[in-house]
Structure 1
Amino acid sequence: MNFICIFSNLNVCLIRIPFVKNIRFSPAFTARCLLLGCLILTQAGCQQLFHAQDAPLKGQTVTVSMTVPQPPPPAAKPLQQGSEQPVPQKNPQSPLDSRLLPTETSLHTDPLAIRNQVDVPATSQSKPARAVIDKAGTVLVNKTVAEDMVLRGTVLIKGALVVAPQATLRIDPGTRILFASAPGSAELSRLVVQGRIVANGTLQQPILFAPALNQPLAGDWGGVVLLNSEKKNSFDHCRIEGAQTGIEAHFSRFSGRGVMVTKSRTGIALYDSEAGLQGCSISRCDRGGRLADSELDLRDSTLQENRQGIDAQRSSFTLSSVKVLNNSQEGVAADQCRFRLTSSQFVENRSGLRLTGGDGQLFLCRFSQNRESGAELVGVRVRISNSSFIQNSGVGILLENARGSVVGSVFSDNRAGNLQNRGSEPFAALLNWWGSADEKQILAGIHDPERKNDTALILFAPFLKERPVTAP
């Protein structure tokens, strides 16, 4: 409709203009007229649009502007519910937010963290963990020695070092051999000798066997084990610390001079084995010596401050010039053994000596200041001569079905009596010094229940009038 109106108005105008009739329309002029007409049509349509739809805007100035927008910034993510503030950006100069640190739950879910927590003290008051010694000139891990070998310097053994039956292991003076469990194993490290071991330490340069830890404790490593080795094994001036068993022999034999075993569960253990030791010291062990069906010759040595000095069963042992001092239980406890004790001292133990069964002799021995009896003899056959039983808190000798004799010895100042009989076997206690020449005073220190029935089992007369010079 708009186009029809426009053309009608155009024709009217042309008729009313006189000079238009005489004009000839060329093609170029015609094109220009058409273009002008299109412009007029466009303007007329826009005016009609504004007039029809925007009638309220009549008489008002309308300004239309166009602005090209910039790309919008990324939308910020909203904070999580319950968060007090956003996590601060990382700043190397400021401390980390506590929420960025590992929590207790995350530590427990990390196997590495759990393993590391074993060595961390639970509280600040806990004792610090013992340092591990891992520096050594030679490191051997679960090694078997098939040929002769010499160890010197500082040697670290992880796991077991096994000496094959055909090989000999020699250890030079001053060598330090440290033991640690093998990686990934909880078994104690040991030196196992099937062949031969020659440890040639000296008084100035002893050989050390110890765990790879400072401040060693009993049971930190296994010990030296002789297994079916009947060759000439020797330990000269060796110090053994923190072992489960210092030297343990099974069907083997060895000798030792100047061996020191300390802070171990068992100092020396013999099982069906033989050992000859001289000038040795065993201290601060749960048990100084353990014998089972074995033979021990111990001379010029000391068993001191152990829970028990020697525990022997079905064995044969000789103690010569041995000091058994300050052990919390028996200095020596033997069951069904053959024994010979010479020039030895049993002082400040709970009980100096307890013999059950077996037979043997005591010569020039001293039993004094023990917290209970000097010697307990139960079912044993024994010969005692030139020995001393003095100042014990219990009785000098406690007899229970023991057979034998004591002669040329000294009994005095034992708090619970000098001699006590609890059995039914006779025992000869003739020619001894009882601390007095008065017979009644002597009888007061001898406890023999059968004497009341005129069937005394302990014979003490004749007795010595003075202390014998030969008794210690």
Structure 2
Amino acid sequence: MRRLFLLALLFCSWPVTESLADTEFRGEQSLWQDTVWSGRVLVDGILTIPAGVTLEIRPGTEVRFTRRDTNGDGIGENEIFIQGVLRVLGTAENPVRFTSAEADPVPGDWGALNMMASEEENLLEHCLVEYGYRGFHAHFANASVKNSVFSRNLRGLQFQESTVVIDGCLVEKNFNGMQFRNSMVRLSATRVLDNHWGIRCVYSELTMHDCEVAGNLVNGVNLRDSSLDADSLLVTGNRKGIYLQRSRGSLRGSRIRDNSEHGILLEDSDFLVVGNLIAGNGRAGVRWLNSRGELRDNHLAGNGEYALVNEGEGTVDARSNWWGTTAAELLAAAIRDGSDIAGRGLVDAGDPLAAPPSPPAAGLQ
């Protein structure tokens, strides 16, 4: 992740200048042939990239959008509308920047890099996207996003009915970091930090590897009617770390710690939790509500109120975990279930581990 840190420093040190753009687009315009951008570009309207046309943006290009809000809803409308192909080819040394042209920029100054019905090989690499309504939006599209920063947008990234691969990115200080529905999304080596919401999705398939989700005001990872296949995560400092509703999947070799409420909340879900460190969470390490699955070989000691809460009717299979103790009385105190409240299911914590398992070798430190 060192290259991403250096990229962020470069963006932060990039001077804001008032010089005129090399290329300007005003009003409603379209590119009718393959086009290459470099230098400074000003978009003062909606620029369409039609089907069959490719827009390539070279390293070091700066694209600025003026603010236009015709309906008074507080959301800027100027944007790039892509039905053809978008290829943003920044480098670590010379990234591409998409930003507001306003003297005092705020999130929502401009619309989006708005990709609609574009199923070609779209690519965003080494770019900064800031102060947009939806920094990058894909609908019925395919895209690969690499080594890029999405910051101070109302929605950092948003997808519908799309397939998106995100690698080596930083999504920070947006209202919604990332949200999507009916999509297939693969995240790797990506940080989702200090947003109001971290990751939210419905009716989607999400794969996460070697990612950090931290410091988000509400929930870190929030799925409904979706699937999550995740390993090597660091999920920390959110309100709820991982919250699944009517979802399925597995979490392996991850650190879920120091979230203010629950580390993991499973509601009407089918989930396998294996080999994780789940500690330091304010209320419960795991809250289990009418869900199915197993807890195996996890470190569950050191959470605020309980290691595990069963609020459903069925039994939770939680054998072979480390609870901080093997003493029956202390182990029972770490669990809240039908033994404490009538009508709830029990927790089967049989054969607890005699010592804490080795900590997960999650890649992000």
TM-score by length of structure 2 reads: 0.90
Q: CA deviation at 1:427?
A: 1.6
Q: 1:183 to 1:241 in 2, by over 3 A?
A: closer
Q: CA deviation at 1:319?
A: 1.1
Letter in 1 for 2:282: S
Question: Counterparts of 1:225 and 1:454 in 2: how far apart (Å)?
Answer: 50
Letter in 1 for 2:24: V
SS of corresponding position for 2:306 = coil
Letter in 2 for 1:136: A
2:346 equivalent to 1:460: no
Kindly provide the CA deviation profile for residues 339-360 of structure 1, in whole angstroms up to 9, marking residues without a partner as x: 1111001101011011000210
Q: 1:215 to 1:302 in 2, by over 3 A?
A: farther
Q: Confirm or deny: 8 A CA contact 1:132 1:214 kept in the other structure.
A: no
Match of 2:49 in 1: 163
2:326 equivalent to 1:441: no
Match of 2:148 in 1: 259
2:114 equivalent to 1:225: yes
Q: 1:207 to 1:384 in 2, by over 3 A?
A: same
2:34 equivalent to 1:145: no
Kindly provide the CA deviation profile for residues 434-470 of structure 1, in whole angstroms up to 9, marking residues without a partner as x: 1123222111101012577799531111110011115
2:21 equivalent to 1:136: yes
Find the partner of 1:195 among 84, 103, 106.
84
Question: Counterparts of 2:210 and 2:309 in 1: how far apart (Å)?
Answer: 27
Question: Counterparts of 2:133 and 2:210 in 1: how far apart (Å)?
Answer: 27
2:105 equivalent to 1:216: yes
Q: 1:284 to 1:169 in 2, by over 3 A?
A: same
Q: 1:434 to 1:171 in 2, by over 3 A?
A: same
2:174 equivalent to 1:273: no
Match of 2:7 in 1: none
Find the partner of 1:431 among 313, 320, 326.
320
- Identity between Structure 1 and Structure 2 (%): 25
Q: 1:231 to 1:180 in 2, by over 3 A?
A: same
Q: 1:219 to 1:452 in 2, by over 3 A?
A: closer
Question: Counterparts of 1:156 and 1:455 in 2: how far apart (Å)?
Answer: 61
Find the partner of 2:196 among 277, 302, 307.
307
Q: 1:181 to 1:286 in 2, by over 3 A?
A: closer
Q: Confirm or deny: 8 A CA contact 1:451 1:457 kept in the other structure.
A: no
Where relative contact order (Cα < 8 A, 6+ residues apart) is larger, the structure is 2
Question: Counterparts of 1:464 and 1:326 in 2: how far apart (Å)?
Answer: 31
Alignment of 1:49-448 (within 5 A): 133=18, 135-141=20-26, 142-181=28-67, 188-448=77-337
Question: Counterparts of 2:124 and 2:17 in 1: how far apart (Å)?
Answer: 27
Letter in 2 for 1:172: R
Question: Counterparts of 1:184 and 1:327 in 2: how far apart (Å)?
Answer: 32
Letter in 2 for 1:264: N
Kindly provide the CA deviation profile for residues 392-439 of structure 1, in whole angstroms up to 9, marking residues without a partner as x: 111000011011101011011111110001111222111111112322
Q: Confirm or deny: 8 A CA contact 2:338 2:344 kept in the other structure.
A: no
Letter in 1 for 2:37: L
Q: Confirm or deny: 8 A CA contact 2:235 2:256 kept in the other structure.
A: yes
Letter in 2 for 1:464: L
Q: 1:425 to 1:183 in 2, by over 3 A?
A: closer
Q: 1:185 to 1:348 in 2, by over 3 A?
A: closer
SS of corresponding position for 1:411 = coil
Question: Counterparts of 1:327 and 1:224 in 2: how far apart (Å)?
Answer: 24
Question: Counterparts of 1:437 and 1:268 in 2: how far apart (Å)?
Answer: 45
Question: Counterparts of 1:417 and 1:246 in 2: how far apart (Å)?
Answer: 40
Alignment of 1:11-50 (within 5 A): none
Question: Counterparts of 2:355 and 2:332 in 1: how far apart (Å)?
Answer: 17
SS of corresponding position for 2:110 = coil
SS of corresponding position for 2:261 = coil
Kindly provide the CA deviation profile for residues 30-76 of structure 1, in whole angstroms up to 9, marking residues without a partner as x: xxxxxxxxxxxxxxxxxxxxxxxxxxxxxxxxxxxxxxxxxxxxxxx
Question: Counterparts of 2:221 and 2:68 in 1: how far apart (Å)?
Answer: 37
Letter in 1 for 2:354: K
Consecutive unaligned residues of structure 1, counting only runs of 5 or more, are 1-130
More strand by share: 2
Q: 1:143 to 1:424 in 2, by over 3 A?
A: same
Q: CA deviation at 1:221?
A: 0.4
Q: CA deviation at 1:244?
A: 0.1
Q: Confirm or deny: 8 A CA contact 1:134 1:156 kept in the other structure.
A: no
Q: Which has the larger radius of gyration?
A: 1
SS of corresponding position for 1:393 = coil
Question: Counterparts of 2:315 and 2:69 in 1: how far apart (Å)?
Answer: 63
TM-score by length of structure 1 reads: 0.70
Letter in 2 for 1:329: V
Q: CA deviation at 1:185?
A: 9.2
Question: Counterparts of 1:380 and 1:349 in 2: how far apart (Å)?
Answer: 21
Q: Confirm or deny: 8 A CA contact 2:313 2:344 kept in the other structure.
A: no
Q: 1:185 to 1:441 in 2, by over 3 A?
A: closer
